[in-house]
Amino acid sequence: MAENDIALMAHLMRRAAFGAPYEELETRAAKGYEATVEELLHPENQPDGIDMDVLERYFAEWQGMIAGGPALWTWRMINSKRPLEEKIALFWHSILCTGSSKIQHNRQQQIEFDMFRNYGLGSFRDILLEISRDPGMIFYLDNCMSHKGAINENYGRELLELFSMGVGMDGHPNYTEDDVKECARAFTGWTISTPIPRYPYGVYPARFIYNPADHDDGVKTFLGETGNWNGEDIVNIIVKQPAAARFISRHMYNFFVADDVQVPAWQNTPPRDPEAIKMLEDEYFRSNYNIRSMLRVLFNSDFFKNARFAKVKSPAEAVIGTMRLVGDFTTPKPGLPAIVAEMRYMGQDLANPPTVEGWHTGKEWIDSGTLVERINFTADQMGNTKLPGIRAIINRLGAEGPTLSPQRLVNGCLQLLGHYAIPEETRSMLLEHLQTGGELRTGTEDFAQRVGQTLQLIVATQEYLFA
């Protein structure tokens, strides 16, 4: 297997999944790049490998987790055999945000996250319709407080601004304040069965209810089209807009390809790669707003293949990627909440983004506090030579011969971590540091320690912060 095929596969798996151990990269590269893209794009073709029965029968700590929320999601991201299903759920959660700070109900949010799994690779129209009917969202953005004759604009506004079009593009606005009001009117009557917070009624998830008596069925003019619009019509009008194509393409680019400016700047700042965005927009319309088709174009494009290490990993990518690589938490055991909390320490409180705008990404993930958390967590895991994934790296390097040069140690570790590229200057610094120990005798415990230390130093580099 050519190493550059494996390097490309490592790139694909970092973006379309949460990275993969070297052995998996080899197997996938042998199957071929496009075949792997197809496999990832069709999670429904294989079981996810998540055995809920086992989790449900496990000890007390898991009782609360299986109801949903960040711990169950973390477990799924670490263990799912359908990694893109989890990644796309994370993608939608970062855009169609609800927060546990307001909902305070894990099962309710779980229903929403499951919806992202089920619909996330389908039509953007269906996704917008489903999120508009999602009880968590209806509560989170107060649509249950929006009534015929007394609208609450919160959902109507965010649907346009943050979920589907954005305030503007190419220097002009995408909608007016009147559009916001008309949109909110069209969604009156879209409400929920019971109030969501736990107190004082307990933890029963709410259901979506359409209440025709509270629906404003007057004539509305929305984005230039006049009619007796209901919420579904609004979604149908939105998805036809070039602004919707642009919006979803830019989000996809920022999430899967390379860090671009943050959403509020999109009205006036053109895309980092306009040609790439154009390709995605064209596919959006050609495929009838199909996310899977857009991702197929994206993953198979040169702009994607060439965008190595062009994104700062999100905390979820950093933590889950590490766990998948070291091979820990593959069976239930105590301590999962601590792993979940690491993402929060690094600035991404899963299921609870700071605002409905979601998380700011790219370099904004990094500050002096989150950087220390990220490096220490990753280095602690990588230095644990008992973990199966680290053992595999040690054994593989050990099998190369009775001795190993420091050069090969550095290069081999970079390769087995997924072909990380580091500048020559950093490589020689690492080498100089490792040279002091001289040539290594493989098969000794000292060798295992030296491999662990080398991995720790590599994950502390600036380059490892990127995916």
Partner 1 sequence: MSDTKKDNVLVVLQLSGGNDALNTIVPYSDPLYLENRPVVRVDPERVLPINEAIGFNPNMAPIKELWDQGKVAIIQGVGYPNPVRSHFRSMDIWHTCEPDKVGTEGWLGRAIRDIDPHKENVLTGVNFGRGLPRALAAPGVPVASVGNLETYGVLTGIEGADQRSQALDLFAKMYSSKLGSSLVREYISQTGTDALSGADTLSTAPQKYTSTVKYASDTVSQYMRNIAQVHLAGLGTRILYTTAPQNSFDTHATEMAKHPQLWQDVSSAVSAFYQDLKEHNASSNVVVFLFTEFGRRVHDNGSGTDHGSGGIAFVIGDAVKGGLYGEYPSLAPEKLLEGDLHYNNDFRSTYATLLEQWLGLDAKPIVGGSFEQHAFLS
Interacting residue ranges for partner 1, rule: CB under 8 A: 99-102, 104, 197, 199-200, 259, 312, 341, 344-345, 347, 352, 354-357, 362-364, 366-373, 375-376, 379-380, 383, 423, 425-426, 429-430, 433, 453, 456-457, 460-462, 465
Cβ contacts of 338 within 8 Å, gap of 6 or more: none
Between 266 and 299, whose beta carbon lies closer to partner 1?
266
> Smallest distance from the beta carbon of 364 to partner 1, in angstroms?
7
Name the helix (H) or strand (E) containing 108: helix 106-119
Instruction: Give 2: exposed, middle or buried? Use CB within 10 Å, 0-12, 13-18, 19+.
Output: exposed
> Smallest distance from the beta carbon of 241 to partner 1, in angstroms?
26
Between 134 and 342, whose beta carbon lies closer to partner 1?
342
> Smallest distance from the beta carbon of 393 to partner 1, in angstroms?
17
> Smallest distance from the beta carbon of 365 to partner 1, in angstroms?
10
Tokens coding 111: 């229903």
Cβ contacts of 74 within 8 Å, gap of 6 or more: 319, 320, 336, 339, 340, 343, 350
Q: Give the burial string for 351-360 (b: 16+ CB within 10 Å, else e).
A: bbbeebbbbe
Between 25 and 196, whose beta carbon lies closer to partner 1?
196
Q: How many residues does the chain have?
A: 467
Q: What is the DSSP letter of 51?
A: -
> Smallest distance from the beta carbon of 235 to partner 1, in angstroms?
25
Tokens coding 10: 């490592």
> Smallest distance from the beta carbon of 411 to partner 1, in angstroms?
17
Between 289 and 420, whose beta carbon lies closer to partner 1?
420
Find the largest Cα–Cα distance for the chain.
81
Between 60 and 399, whose beta carbon lies closer to partner 1?
60
317, amino acid identity:
E
Between 289 and 359, whose beta carbon lies closer to partner 1?
359
> Smallest distance from the beta carbon of 116 to partner 1, in angstroms?
22
Between 140 and 304, whose beta carbon lies closer to partner 1?
140
Tokens coding 33: 């790049």
Q: Are 219 and 265 in contact (CB under 8 A)?
A: no
What's the Cα-to-Cα distance from 428 to each of 378, 406, 425, rounded to whole Å? 22, 11, 5
> Smallest distance from the beta carbon of 83 to partner 1, in angstroms?
27
Q: Are 429 and 423 in contact (CB under 8 A)?
A: no
Between 42 and 198, whose beta carbon lies closer to partner 1?
198
Beta pairing, strands 208-210 & 190-192:
antiparallel
